[in-house]
């Protein structure tokens, strides 16, 4: 099995281009089930989760082709494969975001049978809000033998009020509602950039969605959606990971195709730590230094600090003098990586939904194991500055969300390789 080996201590310099957002691409790919005619989606990263979603769409009768420039062309032929409405366990178990085919299947084929999703182990992530929203639209749903079974003769617009923020739940209800009769209102909708990107994609395809970027979405049902050419937004989590790579190595790197407006909480907190960050157009430059300060941070729904950046910040704060506290408000159990960082010499104590970090002068290279995608990113960042050699195992988690991470870090000057 592959592993990543890092000889720490190299300062990163240079530029790196940020790929399209994984968490925008996956629901947009699923939404192609709704469209008449082919769609061409640019900016799709070459990662395992995209391959898995492509396999799910092919299993549902879709044609998924990849061009040389990475553009995906997706086509579902009208009137064909309507008897294919099952997303099986062997595919869905590989990633949680595969649940986002539930809404489009129900809307277009009136039936959906989707396995309960898998993915990283980062805490409980129930889908009760997905079911609540789709039921309100008129679906009959039961869960048996590990599958969500949904059917509806027709979907009718209504008012839906979520009791908590759910990104994929918002995506599922939105994609079900665009072809429903009448108007659907989603209150307390998630407003993450990836949700906005899905809404903008659907609108370009002929949907009528307003309130994009706000907590209240209004969706007027339409008769038909058509295929489109679309470029997804840059991946804000990948961008944040590279920014911290520059910060933790006291480097000087420039990110191309990165949107600072999607990274407000991340940039603000890094500047509070003492990292120099400048942004213009679609570029972000990060310059590290020797005068960092301990901080406290809390993960929150957008526009707050992303939970997907928590592990990366933990790696950075492990080598920042003073006491920092990270409070995890999204997934309170998402601290498995703390034990691996402690193996590298980090002083971290987990107390319920918080981690107390006392910065140490240095980390030491050793063998560590990845528990989830973003934990893997945090361990790679720690390895970049650890004394000696760090060997990182179970890197298949990393491959779910980062395209050739070790190669791109190597081009910036890191002594890193896959073995």
Q: Report which secondary-structure segment, H or E, holds 5.
A: strand 4-7
Contacts of 340 (CB under 8 A, 6+ apart): 368, 369, 370, 371, 375, 379
Exposed / middle / buried, residue 242 (Cβ in 10 Å: 0-12, 13-18, 19+) = buried
3 state SS for 61-109: CCEEEECCCCCEEEECCCCCCCCCCEECHHHHCCCHHHHHHHHHHHHHH
Q: Say what the alpha-carbon torsion angle 46, 50, 51, 54 is, to the nearest 10 degrees.
A: -130
Which residues are known catalytic residues?
Answer: 120
Alpha carbons 338 and 359: distance in angstroms, whole number: 13
Q: Can you read off the two tokens belonging to residue 37?
A: 């005619």
Q: Can you read off the two tokens belonging to residue 352?
A: 């319920």
Helix (H, G, I), strand (E, B) or coil at 305: strand
Helix (H, G, I), strand (E, B) or coil at 221: coil
Torsion sign over Cα 407, 12, 248, 392: positive
How many residues would you count in the chain?
419
Nearest to 384 by CA among 362, 401, 400: 362
Q: Residues 333, 122: contact at Cβ < 8 Å?
A: yes
| Cis geometry, peptide bond prior to residue 353 (ω within 30 degrees of 0) | no
> Which residue matches tokens 């509602």?
177
Nearest to 406 by CA among 379, 372, 371: 379
What pairing do the DSSP bridges indicate for beta strands 283-287 and 39-42? unpaired
E-only strand ranges, 162-243: 183-187, 208-210, 216-220, 225-226, 229-231
């Amino acid at each position: 099995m592959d592993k990543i080996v890092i000889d720490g201590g190299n300062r990163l310099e240079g530029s790196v281009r940020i790929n399209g957002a994984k968490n925008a691409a996956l629901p947009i790919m699923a939404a192609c089930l709704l469209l008449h005619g082919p769609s061409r989606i640019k900016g799709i990263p070459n990662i395992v989760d995209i391959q898995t979603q492509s396999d799910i769409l092919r299993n549902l009768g879709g044609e998924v082709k990849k061009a040389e420039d990475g553009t995906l062309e997706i086509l579902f032929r009208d009137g064909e494969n309507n008897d294919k409405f099952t997303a099986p366990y062997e595919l869905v178990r590989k990633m949680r975001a595969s649940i986002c085919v539930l809404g489009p299947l129900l809307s277009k084929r009136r039936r959906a049978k989707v396995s309960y999703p898998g993915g990283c182990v980062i805490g409980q992530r129930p889908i009760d809000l997905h079911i609540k929203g789709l039921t309100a639209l008129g679906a009959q749903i039961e869960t048996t033998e590990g599958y969500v079974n949904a059917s509806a003769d027709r979907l009718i617009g209504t008012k839906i009020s979520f009791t908590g923020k759910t990104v994929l739940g918002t995506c599922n209800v939105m994609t079900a509602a665009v072809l429903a009769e009448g108007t659907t209102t989603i209150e307390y909708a998630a407003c993450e950039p990836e949700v906005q990107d899905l809404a903008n994609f659907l609108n370009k395809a002929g949907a009528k969605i307003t309130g994009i970027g706000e907590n209240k979405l209004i969706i007027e049902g339409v008769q038909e959606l058509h295929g489109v050419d679309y470029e997804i937004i840059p991946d804000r989590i990948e961008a944040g990971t590279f920014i911290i790579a520059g910060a933790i190595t006291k480097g000087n790197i420039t990110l191309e195709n990165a949107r600072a407006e999607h990274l407000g909480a991340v940039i603000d907190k890094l500047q509070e730590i003492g990292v120099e960050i400048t942004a213009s157009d679609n570029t972000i430059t990060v310059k590290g230094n020797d005068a960092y300060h301990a901080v406290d941070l809390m993960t929150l729904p957008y526009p707050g600090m992303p939970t997907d950046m928590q592990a990366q910040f933990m790696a950075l704060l492990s080598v920042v003098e003073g006491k920092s506290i990270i409070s995890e408000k999204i997934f309170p159990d998402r601290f498995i990586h703390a034990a691996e960082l402690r193996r590298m010499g980090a002083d971290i104590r987990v107390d319920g939904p918080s981690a107390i970090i006392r910065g140490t002068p240095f980390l030491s290279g050793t063998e560590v194991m990845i528990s989830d995608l973003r934990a893997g990113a945090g361990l790679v960042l720690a390895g970049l500055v650890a004394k000696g050699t760090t060997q990182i195992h179970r890197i298949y988690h990393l491959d779910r969300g980062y395209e050739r991470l070790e190669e791109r870090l190597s081009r910036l000057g890191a002594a890193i390789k896959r073995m």
